[in-house]
Amino acid sequence: MTINLPTDRKAVLAADEHLIQSFADLNSLKDQDSLTVITEAEGYYVKESDGNQLIDGIGGLWCVNVGHKRKEIIDAISEQLNTLDYYSTFYNFTHPTAAKLAAKVAELAPGHLNHVYFANSGSVANDSAIRMLHHYNNRLGRPNKKKVLSRIGAYHGSTHLSMAMTTPAYSKGWDSASELVHHIKCPHFWKEGGDMTEAEFLDSLITDLKVNIHDIGAENIAAFIAEPIMGAGGVITAPDGYHVRMAEVCAANDIKYISDEVVTAFGRLGHFFASKDVFGITPDIITTAKGLTSGYQPLSATIISDEIHEVISRPGETFLHGMTYSGHPAAAAAGLANIALMEQQRIPEQVRVTGKLFEHSLKELASLELVGEVRGSHFMIGIEFIKDKANKTPFAEQDMVGMKVAQAAQKRGLIARPLGNCLILSPPLILDEKIIASIYDILRESIIEVSSSI
Ligand SMILES: Cc1ncc(COP(=O)(O)O)c(C=O)c1O
């Protein structure tokens, strides 16, 4: 059956009046001029409704890791739908595709992380992690051990619970399950380090964790959740050794460590998972999504340790957690084909070269007057703009310099993501030297243009 889609901009916008965008200023969208209508995509390019081609500098939304329109994944999804379109993994049902993907994810995940619960978004992967840990503690007769430590600057999703774990700035004017969560310090040295050396700053973060555990009581804390590199909080990297030391304190206090690898897994930092291979920790739970299918299907995974699984699968109680689309065959097929493609084409290994080139090249932008800091790693980069570089005076929130630079970049053919006075780049992992050079040139020209107008 052919679905007759609206293709010209005017027809799309007429239909779009019924669509609610995510994280958008709904009032300003009533004037539809600012909407970008994307109709096609291939490789690292997307096309607008008028045929204009743009470099996808944000990989859809940190997710199209292998690039757009990969036939291998599209064919695998189609073949799967022709064989088994849907069946659930409720009760005693399973199917080959979800089972095989669970085994593959367990093989790729570090150490004792061998049991996988699938859902359809990073938010639900994080909700699932907390629900499972609450049940785990109930099973162990510790009904008070329920609170979660998260961090200022974190982004863990947009459901009621995952938003509570996200930095409070994201829920201004909204409610969340905030009574369950306590936010500890942001590990951003450039912004929060003051007069300290980086080593002193790291010590202060560890002390902050210990003080919070002491005040709240380890017997009341189920988990600490952390992204290896904070993403939507502005691409914030912690000082070297931070995760290892935080994990040691958590383990000493019987607090489970959840590593939110919704963005950092599946090649973005040069490995299938970053927790162990990049940051040297084996968490109790890893959550992931996005690059798991490179965005071709909505799929997330909550990967739990043998020990947690052993407790929640003891006789006596049922696993009362379930989503209709958990392990959906088409999504699982996309995951398997995506991982196979990454393995065959050695994409994570390639990223260790091209991602480093991207990082080093964008870090050169730090010499521009408007740029305060370029941070991040490999294909996960944040650029922070600053009013007065010498005194580190920030722009006001309403200055929206990120948006101004993003608009200047889009005019030149590059989509970048504005975030307050920052700009975020998280492109597909298949960029070559030439396109990396083009992205650098576009960003440089755009920043210079905005500098001269503010
Ligand atoms: C680190 C992290 N965790 C969780 C999420 C939520 O994922 P989703 O948007 O699929 O719910 C995101 C989304 O960007 C994320 O960056």
- Judge whether 36-66+347-453 and 73-344 match in fold: no
**Is 185:153 a contact under the CB 8 Å cutoff?**
no
pLDDT at res. 7? 81
Task: Report pLDDT digits (tens) over 320-364.
Answer: 999 999 999 999 999 999 999 999 999 999 999 999 999 999 999
Mean pLDDT of the chain: 97
Of all protein residues, the one whose alpha carbon is nearest to atom 3 of ligand 1 is 156
Task: Report pLDDT digits (tens) over 353-402.
Answer: 999 999 999 999 999 999 999 999 999 999 999 999 999 999 998 999 99
Which CA distances in Å does 26 have to 11, 30, 430?
Answer: 20, 7, 34
Residue whose C-alpha is closest to residue 385's, from 436, 377, 393: 393
Taking residues 262-288, what's their average pLDDT?
98
Task: Report pLDDT digits (tens) over 13-67.
Answer: 999 999 999 999 999 999 999 999 999 999 999 999 999 999 999 999 999 999 9
Cβ of 231 below 6 Å from ligand 1: yes
pLDDT at res. 97? 98
Cβ of 373 below 6 Å from ligand 1: no
Of all protein residues, the one whose alpha carbon is nearest to atom 13 of ligand 1 is 157
**Is 292:335 a contact under the CB 8 Å cutoff?**
yes
- Range 73-344: architecture per CATH: 3-Layer(aba) Sandwich (3.40)
Which CA distances in Å does 153 have to 169, 191, 238, 268, 425?
Answer: 8, 12, 11, 20, 17
Task: Report pLDDT digits (tens) over 292-310.
Answer: 999 999 999 999 999 999 9
Q: Which residues pair with 184 in a beta bridge?
A: 151
- The alpha carbons of the chain give a radius of gyration, in whole angstroms, of 22
What is the CB neighbour count within 10 angstroms for residue 281? 24
**Model confidence, pTM:** 0.98
**Is 368:446 a contact under the CB 8 Å cutoff?**
no
Most ligand 1 atoms within 8 A of CB, residue of 123, 128, 130, 176 to mutate: 123
Helices (H), strands (E): how many in the chain? 15, 16
CATH 3.20.20.140 fits 36-66+347-453, yes or no: no
Cβ of 259 below 6 Å from ligand 1: no
End-to-end CA distance of the chain: 52
Max CA distance (Å), the chain: 68
Which CA distances in Å does 164 have to 151, 158, 173?
Answer: 11, 8, 13
Cβ of 338 below 6 Å from ligand 1: no
Q: Where are the domains of the chain?
A: 36-66+347-453, 73-344
In the reported structure, the alpha carbon of residue 156 is separated from the centroid of ligand 1 by a whole-number distance in angstroms of 5
Task: Report pLDDT digits (tens) over 207-244.
Answer: 999 999 999 999 999 999 999 999 999 999 999 999 99
- Report whether pLDDT(454) > 90: no
Q: Is the dihedral of CA 193, 165, 115, 96 positive or negative?
A: negative
Cβ of 260 below 6 Å from ligand 1: yes
Cβ of 59 below 6 Å from ligand 1: no
Query: Which is the closest atom of ligand 1 to the Cα of 61?
Result: 14
pLDDT at res. 239? 98
In the reported structure, the alpha carbon of residue 132 is separated from the centroid of ligand 1 by a whole-number distance in angstroms of 19
Which CA distances in Å does 361 have to 268, 283, 413, 415?
Answer: 17, 32, 18, 18
Task: Report pLDDT digits (tens) over 71-113.
Answer: 999 999 999 999 999 999 999 999 999 999 999 999 999 999 9
Cβ of 155 below 6 Å from ligand 1: yes
In the reported structure, the alpha carbon of residue 192 is separated from the centroid of ligand 1 by a whole-number distance in angstroms of 24
Residue whose C-alpha is closest to residue 207's, from 258, 252, 145, 249: 249
In the reported structure, the alpha carbon of residue 64 is separated from the centroid of ligand 1 by a whole-number distance in angstroms of 14
Task: Report pLDDT digits (tens) over 119-167.
Answer: 999 999 999 999 999 999 999 999 999 999 999 999 999 999 999 999 9
Query: Which is the closest atom of ligand 1 to the Cα of 158?
Result: 11
In the reported structure, the alpha carbon of residue 369 is separated from the centroid of ligand 1 by a whole-number distance in angstroms of 32
Residue whose C-alpha is closest to residue 338's, from 114, 104, 116, 106: 104
Cβ of 165 below 6 Å from ligand 1: no
**Dist CA 434 CA 115 (whole Å):** 41
The four Cα atoms 211, 170, 420, 436 give a dihedral, to 10 degrees, of: 90
